[in-house]
Amino acid sequence: MNRPPFEVADIIRAHGDSFVEKSRSWLTWLHLRVLSAIEHCRTAALGGHRDRCRRCGHEAISFNSCRSRHCPKCQTNARDKWLAGRSQELLPVNYTHVVFTIPHELSWLALQNKKVVYDLLFRASSVTLLEIAADPKHLGAEIGFLSVLHTWGANLMHHPHVHCVIPSGGLSADHQRWIHPRYTFFLPVRVLGRVFRGKFVAGLKRAFRQGQLAFPGSLQLLATRESLSCFPPAALSSRLGGLRQTPLRRTRACAALPGPLHAPRRHLQSSPPVRRRRQGQLPMEGLRSRW
């Protein structure tokens, strides 16, 4: 492949300094780091290695890449290839985005018992979707979905939740027909929430009785209790299993992805609002605000 006449790195080398001088009021060190990475990508500044052909012995020097996800010559190309490959797997149907989350009162439990709680979150959410979708009263079909774990909310506080991307519909029992949802939405959110809450609480109690949950430090007193009555009431109330269900952009059976495969951020259930702090303070969970 021939090198294009102009690259983003050439523009940064020619006009990067003047741009930085004019934009210092809003540029951050992250912006400067990206500009520097693109400028020095695959140049002698990042070092290199010698390549030799095993057949003819020809040698050439290849400079190292910056591997920044913002660089058009590095991770951007890999991302575009990945998106093109995933677009081939999309069905020509609508997609639904469902989020399973646990309340903020149980975040400390997940933080100290990641393997147990995250595994339980995945299992309870997946079984809930499969059971409700298979119920003839709601859909009566076998569905498939993709689940992704997020452990942080939009405010960068610990907030475990699972995102599920689901085709709106499923296969019949004989796998010969595609069954479309009978509602304007995919599955009833209240039913999903009740079933998920029951399965998650049952799994949590089972893990508690089997001694799979760790209570380090000042939480050791909770391990001596015989039930989950030591947990905050709000943690096991109706807030557990808070869901969001949002339709995604309709996809077409083509190689190009029509848009980002995610719903607007307003569907997310974040942890309790944090009081706005003045610039210069560091909001860190468990620590007092410090300059």
Residue 261 CA, distance from chain mean position = 12
**Is 290 part of a structural domain of the chain?**
no
pLDDT at position 15, please? 92
Burial of 270: CB neighbours in 10 Å, binned 0-12, 13-18, 19+: middle
Which two tokens mark 142?
A: 């076998």
Looking at the fold, whether 27 and 139 belong to one and the same domain comes out as: no
Looking at the fold, whether 122 and 231 belong to one and the same domain comes out as: yes
Looking at the fold, whether 64 and 161 belong to one and the same domain comes out as: no
Q: How confident is the model at residue 245 (pLDDT cuts 50, 70, 90)?
A: low
Highest mean pLDDT (candidates 99-108, 232-241, 258-267, 275-284)? 99-108
**Is 281 part of a structural domain of the chain?**
no
**Is 155 part of a structural domain of the chain?**
yes
Higher confidence at residue 132 or residue 277? 132
| Element at 101 (helix H, strand E) | strand 95-101
Looking at the fold, whether 138 and 192 belong to one and the same domain comes out as: yes
Residue type, 63: F
| Element at 83 (helix H, strand E) | helix 75-87
Please, what is the average pLDDT of the chain?
A: 77
Q: What percent of the chain is predicted at pLDDT more than 90?
A: 18
Looking at the fold, whether 45 and 177 belong to one and the same domain comes out as: no
pLDDT at position 35, please? 92
Last residue of a domain, one of 47, 69, 86: 86
pLDDT at position 223, please? 60
Looking at the fold, whether 94 and 205 belong to one and the same domain comes out as: yes
* Beta strand pairing call for 170-171 and 178-179: antiparallel
Q: pTM (2 decimals)?
A: 0.59
pLDDT at position 275, please? 47
Is the CB of residue 170 less than 8 Å from the CB of residue 141?
yes
Looking at the fold, whether 227 and 187 belong to one and the same domain comes out as: yes
**How many domains in the chain?**
2
**Residue 143 pLDDT > 60, yes or no?**
yes
Instruction: Give the residue among 208, 239, 235 at the shortest CA–CA distance from 108.
Output: 235
CA distance linking residue 125 with residue 241, whole number of Å: 9
Higher confidence at residue 260 or residue 69? 69
| Element at 81 (helix H, strand E) | helix 75-87
> 111 is in which domain, residue-wise?
90-267
Instruction: Give the residue among 98, 97, 100 at the shortest CA–CA distance from 199.
Output: 100
**Is 287 part of a structural domain of the chain?**
no
Is the CB of residue 65 less than 8 Å from the CB of residue 74?
yes
Residue type, 61: I
Terminal CA-to-CA distance of the chain, rounded, Å? 52
Looking at the fold, whether 114 and 234 belong to one and the same domain comes out as: yes
**Is 286 part of a structural domain of the chain?**
no
Highest mean pLDDT (candidates 105-119, 215-229, 258-272)? 105-119
Looking at the fold, whether 117 and 223 belong to one and the same domain comes out as: yes
User: Could you report the per-residue pLDDT of 12-62, keeping only the tens digit for each?
Assistant: 999 999 999 999 889 898 899 999 999 998 888 888 888 888 889 898 888
